[in-house]
Structure 1
């Protein structure tokens, strides 16, 4: 599995208040009729006209551009703080108006009014947090540090307001006597549950403790995210000669020279770190010393002491989360955080992952033995290390499957991948069409914009594509919305995908490797989930689903990257125009099962490490109070997994694990979601293949049963409506080559230790 930055890094407006989920996804669905709930017609509230302050500036009203898209020509950095302050003040007044309403609490005058509150705050938040992720500046970082704790306090002032909760609870307690649509009932349930989960049933003293913890978490997680970004930028590999980069292409070496010059190292060469431990250029580097330096800069980027060391931050975050969970009577943050997940509880998620460990451990040891045999056959006098593994894995693939990944890349031009691959797939499955446009302002010149047309020719929404890596962008890939679909507001989705593809030198063809091909399909899967939203309420619209469900639709769409009909439409050699031969595709698919010890292992390790951090009790977390103890806890946790950690480090080490430490909740106790949704994904791929593959009938069925449903129903039921049965883990295990397991090769027992920090140590 090609794990990406969680994935949608979405700013979500919850039923109760705008809340950050920052790290980031029509047809035949039920129609709910008029915007006004029928209950509202019977309410005697005509005389109630509360005074709500009006905002000023750009964000005070909807954009005048098509689809309400942001007009970046009219937004300055000075607009954000006043807009945030006004937006919070307006929503505070809107909430107070709900509380002060003399009419008895009803679904319309309480739940719907709460859903409708915070429009200005939502507008500024969506734009601001899009830019802090994809095109930040020092000033935006300062604003984020200033505003994040204020937003946390504002959210708490709503979700922990006892008078507001009394009205919500009155409606909730009367739900059996009310006539509601399925979506109305779901909104009521989620509004009530989210307030209870926030602390509405706690004592006043406990609520004040929760507020203090939330504020501190907001500040610390923002600091963690910004520090990791700085550590990633500052720890770029700098080398003196092009010979040290032997194995890279001419364009990659040219890009390295350009980056070094930008960093003040004229005449040298630089390779920027990625968000993951493993660097994508590592397999191509033939100089072993260079590989080792690059690996260690990556693996130890944020735990070397100094201003870019995050270890004490993350320990404090883990402690605060454990303390918060204890206030709710939960034994750990994982137990607290998983209340609304598809898996429901930590035991289910951990059991799901642990069943894979024996076969995975055996695969790691077998593959390590094969790699060491190849090293010995070359007459080399060393054993495989993490910086060697993928070099030799690629050699074994080339030898065993006659597959050379470098020969595939010339067939993947980025524009063709998107327009002739991703968009072609969307047309064949769902009947969509796309029109490139240049009349709308974007936040960076490299952003591409498209109008999306539905199967009946009507406008479905607007799509922004931001593909290239730059220093102002955090690592990874994600999807989010500038505008959410909502029948209540009559809005159509405005969606953006962000990737981190190294940009080709000016004048050269923009080629991408196959990993980025899959990423492009993956992120557009999130976009489709957003485009096909058919909900009345933003809070339940599109990708507003559980953490361990939201990656499922995006992962399914990766399958079409190698589907013969799609592949033959976009995979054209940039020089000859030749279509990628199917025998090469078959080699890609055959070779994909090799190296699962690393490819799958690094993800399982990261997911289980996440669970280890979030299974801590307050006392256990409090004991981890020095950088050295953070290292020791990570080492102990990894050792307990029984996997070859010294050879296959986790995809993210704790000190730069943005998914779980860069926002107050984020993917904490949720990184397993990538594995859980892969189970749903691989099972669904089998369904598509069994039912004819790339057909409109299949696409329409998936759209109707999954993509258009948003967060309006039980996720197991949603899957059953699609597949006709419960999900099965076997297709996933088979795709990973783990179904039957392998005999263990000789290997020393893993000690959970990474290689030493100093270069040259074995």
Structure 2
């Protein structure tokens, strides 16, 4: 963002409309100092709007109550969407200070809205006769939101719920900022050629670029960006350095001092349990899953257990083969978590004549982006035109106008692909603006944020196959936002059940693995030659390699998440590491594998509530996506127009027009089977 101070620039948030292309935020004119005053004005305006709705003397109707609610808060949405996109993808100490101040205020504001007795009385009184299907759905969702926020409770319980919400917002913000601080603080400096042993050219180049960005030109650095640390653990032949890097990775948020997240987790769990009890639920997990496709913790745990047993057997077989390789080479040590990726890659070379260094030259970032765009064109008729001259919050960000078959503007897509210290780890999709038609034909502005390692000087960023899959995954989320085709903001885009929201993203990953797509887009970054057919077949033949490990590290995190949110220990004071260790002991967690996300850095569930008691949803959605892609196989064409049209109408474009089971059944004609998932992961008996 611009370094111009607020007192020398007009406040962009005071402008009623932005005249930038696509009405993008004018990032070059926005400073951290603008946000708190902008929030103050927007909150005050929203309070006035809500008071007018709640105090309307006319009988409650859909138009003067529900539609009025949907139209309210526009100024607040504009400020908040800009602010929170920046705090995730390009933050600084000034923005973090504003975030700490605003998080509890915004939580209290939301509580005041949903705990307003006069407003709830009007929403309850709205008649259902004559409503369209979409209007009836909006009314039902509002009533559900009010009840789940505590609208039916007595005043003292409402007051306590509001205090809990404010405190949880502050804790989630601190958790996230602590995690970013730990991730930004760690660097493993590779001092000598011996330290670089085993690292292929692409990884040396990425480590050199990371060192240069941190003021250490001419050296090599490994950071805690997954696109750097994962390949380092794969290729480094220095077992001692692998252990140092891995230990730093799994100890994020658990290093003592100001950035330690364990006390935050304990307080968070205690408050979530209290909130659930006030709302009439035995546990937070029961509360959270009552409004999902699964419906209950038992349903989610049943799925995880059904997958855990075959995955653990498979992981045991994988471990034995890796330990045998160590013995063959004269090693006298037991396989450890920092060894698994290294020896698995070497075993993959042996069993499938395949290594990551051979694949990456055929997966330059630009080619994978083109593959994602081309797949969207063939499925949904979308076209993408890059816009070089539009406002952006960082020079790395790229903007693309998205159009439909008839030339109609669908929306704007932003891609922010590279890791940097100002960005939190991981990959995600978000929106600067969501689609709706209530206040006009509003097109969405959707952003994908990644953390890929840059290539060396003058070289492109080369992706692993897992990186490419991440790009397709997040672009599937982006399409869910871009293709939204609803009238009411409450139902737009990804505003669906938590265990349904991953279906569009995980389903989109399937197209990356199709020979037809790889033959067209997997091309050598220097020569432009297509991936050799032999390499392509070896790559696809290894798809289920190491899936025991991959399933175990994910499922363990999902099980611990549910265990935490089903436990009564939160009330008595939670010893986070001890609880995690006992939970893993009960399920027989292999000692050679660690959870994908240990609790002190499990941002999915503690940097907010989006996936709290809901990390299982990736596996739940995988049941759906594996079954859904079979619809294209059964049609005999992975781009079958009729199947794609149903997919767009009932999944990607439908938002929350219908509940998840009805939406999936409308697309597929039935609910899914678990069999395609087990087959996809190579876990079928």
- TM bracket (short chain): over 0.9
Structure 2 equivalent of residue 705 of structure 1: 650
Q: Note if 1:672 corresponds to 2:607.
A: no
CA contact (8 A) 1:434 1:450 kept: yes
Is the alpha carbon distance of 1:128 and 1:658 closer, same or farther for their aligned partners in structure 2, counting shifts above 3 Å? same
Q: Note if 1:441 corresponds to 2:385.
A: no
Q: Note if 1:286 corresponds to 2:237.
A: yes
Which secondary structure state, in structure 2, belongs to the residue aligned with residue 700 of structure 1? helix
Picking from 545, 549, 573, the partner of 1:624 is: 573
Structure 1 equivalent of residue 400 of structure 2: 450
Structure 2 equivalent of residue 718 of structure 1: 663
Structure 2 equivalent of residue 14 of structure 1: none
1:711-737 alpha-carbon deviations (Å, 9 max, x no partner): 010211111111122111100011112
CA contact (8 A) 2:502 2:618 kept: yes
Shift of 1:277: 12
Shift of 1:439: 1.9
Structure 1 equivalent of residue 4 of structure 2: none
Give the count of matched residue pairs: 674
CA contact (8 A) 1:132 1:141 kept: yes
Mapping of residues 403-414 of structure 1, within 5 Å: 403-414=354-365
Structure 2 equivalent of residue 121 of structure 1: 76
Mapping of residues 450-599 of structure 1, within 5 Å: 450-489=400-439, 490-599=441-550
Is the alpha carbon distance of 1:530 and 1:593 closer, same or farther for their aligned partners in structure 2, counting shifts above 3 Å? same
Is the alpha carbon distance of 1:274 and 1:439 closer, same or farther for their aligned partners in structure 2, counting shifts above 3 Å? closer
Q: Note if 1:94 corresponds to 2:49.
A: yes
Q: Note if 1:422 corresponds to 2:422.
A: no
Shift of 1:739: 1.4
Structure 1 equivalent of residue 272 of structure 2: 321
In terms of fraction of residues, the more helix-rich structure is: 2
Counterparts of 2:306 and 2:202, CA distance in 1: 44
Is the alpha carbon distance of 1:267 and 1:57 closer, same or farther for their aligned partners in structure 2, counting shifts above 3 Å? closer
Shift of 1:649: 0.6
Counterparts of 2:658 and 2:14, CA distance in 1: 33
CA contact (8 A) 2:222 2:229 kept: no
Picking from 173, 183, 197, the partner of 2:134 is: 183
Mapping of residues 274-423 of structure 1, within 5 Å: 274=225, 279-419=230-370, 421-423=371-373
Structure 1 equivalent of residue 144 of structure 2: 193
Which secondary structure state, in structure 2, belongs to the residue aligned with residue 439 of structure 1? coil
Shift of 1:342: 0.7
CA contact (8 A) 1:59 1:120 kept: no
Shift of 1:92: 0.3
1:212-257 alpha-carbon deviations (Å, 9 max, x no partner): 1111101111001100111111123234323212122335334434
CA contact (8 A) 1:67 1:493 kept: no
Counterparts of 1:251 and 1:650, CA distance in 2: 28
Counterparts of 2:208 and 2:448, CA distance in 1: 29
Shift of 1:60: 4.6
TM-score with structure 1 setting the length: 0.86
Picking from 31, 34, 55, the partner of 1:79 is: 34
> Quick one: higher RCO (CA 8 Å, sep 6+), 1 or 2?
1
Counterparts of 1:255 and 1:410, CA distance in 2: 14
Which secondary structure state, in structure 1, belongs to the residue aligned with residue 502 of structure 2? helix
Structure 2 equivalent of residue 139 of structure 1: 94
**Structure 2 residue ranges without an equivalent (≥5):** 1-9
Is the alpha carbon distance of 1:56 and 1:156 closer, same or farther for their aligned partners in structure 2, counting shifts above 3 Å? farther
Counterparts of 1:65 and 1:257, CA distance in 2: 37
Counterparts of 2:229 and 2:298, CA distance in 1: 29
CA contact (8 A) 1:237 1:297 kept: no
Picking from 581, 597, 614, the partner of 2:565 is: 614
**Structure 1 residue ranges without an equivalent (≥5):** 1-54, 741-762
In terms of mean alpha carbon deviation, does 245-254 or 344-353 score higher? 245-254
CA contact (8 A) 1:413 1:510 kept: yes
Counterparts of 2:658 and 2:22, CA distance in 1: 27
Which secondary structure state, in structure 1, belongs to the residue aligned with residue 573 of structure 2? coil
CA contact (8 A) 1:276 1:652 kept: no
Counterparts of 1:715 and 1:96, CA distance in 2: 33
Shift of 1:262: 5.2
1:342-371 alpha-carbon deviations (Å, 9 max, x no partner): 111111101111111211111111111111
Q: Note if 1:651 corresponds to 2:613.
A: no
CA contact (8 A) 2:208 2:456 kept: no
Structure 1 equivalent of residue 119 of structure 2: 164
Structure 2 equivalent of residue 104 of structure 1: 59
CA contact (8 A) 2:368 2:522 kept: yes
Shift of 1:583: 2.8
Mapping of residues 625-644 of structure 1, within 5 Å: 625=574, 629-644=575-590
Structure 2 equivalent of residue 684 of structure 1: 628
